[in-house]
Amino acid sequence: MAVDPKVQAFLDSPLASHPPHEQLGANGLRAMLAQYPAPVLAPPVHSVTDLTVPGAAGPVRVRLYRPSGARELPLIVYFHGGGFVICTIEMYDDMCRMLANHSGCAVASVDYRLAPEAPFPGPLEDCYLALKNLAGRGAELGIDPSRLAVAGDSAGGNLAAATALLARERGGPALRYQGLIYPCVDPACDSPSQRAFAENHMLTRSGMLWYWKQYLRSPGDANNPLAAPPLADLRGLPPASLITAEFDPLRDEGEDYADRLRAAGVEVIGRRYLGMIHGFASMPYLTPMANHAVADFGADLRTALTG
């Protein structure tokens, strides 16, 4: 199948063209994003509240979305993408609003620290501590700490998978589910899809290698299961939904991780969205497939946390 025509038109437009990530550097990328913010649809939700939770090196911002006024809502703790280096909770406002509405669950979007200023395991520890703090504030926040999930896309998918590992290793909080949207989980970036879609599909292989270099403290971290979850013992992890995109360099590593989870006895729902590229689920203004994907994802989480 070919790239979706609307997506291809975007890839052919000036909006998708910029110097290589490794040339711009972290500060250059952040400045570029500040100049060209993503379109905001701001679908209505019942309420949005900004919170602060303890992180590994100081306070971390969290934005809590509630789809209704019901008390004791299930909670999805969400970690945004951006290669561990860029993006903010503001840039993921649409995604989290959509996910809250489709899942019927509260969604807490975590503004973890970014690399290279805060390399591995700093951002991961922020994510785990945010999960732990939110679970401990159930009565205050009107959430049910017995119905928790983690979720994230791209680098955030890595952080969600690794947070699930930490929750298992550290004795909680207990998770019912994990939702992973085109997660980056292989620092080698050497899969067939990495080679096939190395250029011209927005995310590049060279860019992904650069992102990993910013996140990892040294090459040895690539062998740490908390940085590369496929290396972990995956038994006993919560069930998962895992989304991939047909023309994404990360496609194969995500689908391989789903297979590894299944081999370890973990139930997995896997969906590959045809004609799509990396990041499509955050582009409802570009393709209706974004809303379809988030609706599917939200339905899985709704069933797991409220069914």
Residue 48 CA: distances (Å) to CA of 62, 100, 283: 10, 11, 21
Give the burial class of 12: count Cβ atoms within 10 A of its Cβ; 0-12 exposed, 13-18 middle, 19 or more buried. exposed
Distance between CA atoms of residues 6 and 307, nearest Å: 36
**Which pLDDT does position 22 carry in this prediction?**
81
**Which pLDDT does position 104 carry in this prediction?**
98
Of 219, 237, 235, which is closest to residue 227 (Cα–Cα)? 219
Residue whose pair of structure tokens reads 């939904």 in the numeric block: 241
Distance between CA atoms of residues 168 and 182, nearest Å: 22
Residue 282 bears catalytic tag? no
Return the structure tokens found at 257: 């991780």
The fold of the 5-306 domain, in CATH, is Rossmann fold (3.40.50)
- Segments making up each domain of the chain, as ranges: 5-306
Phi and psi at residue 287, in whole multiples of 5°?
-140, 135
The angle that helices 205-215 and 21-35 make with each other, rounded to 10 degrees, is 90
Q: Which of 103, 109, 154, 191 is catalytic?
A: 154
The angle that helices 155-169 and 122-135 make with each other, rounded to 10 degrees, is 60
Residue 154 bears catalytic tag? yes
Buried-state track 78-93, b at ≥16 Cβ within 10 A, e below 16: bbbbbbbbbbbbebbb
Let me know: does 46 contact 69? Beta carbons within 8 Å.
yes
**Which pLDDT does position 19 carry in this prediction?**
83
Q: What is the number of H-type helices and E-type strands within the chain?
A: 10, 8
**Which pLDDT does position 100 carry in this prediction?**
98
Q: Which of 4, 94, 248, 300 is catalytic?
A: 248
Report cis status (omega within 30 of 0) of the bond before 116. Answer: yes
**Which pLDDT does position 34 carry in this prediction?**
87
pLDDT along the chain (307 residues), means of 10: 92 84 90 81 95 96 97 97 96 96 98 98 98 96 97 98 98 98 98 96 95 97 98 98 98 98 98 98 94 98 94
Alpha-helical (H) ranges within 41-175 are 93-103, 122-135, 138-141, 155-169
Q: Which of 21, 80, 201, 278 is catalytic?
A: 278
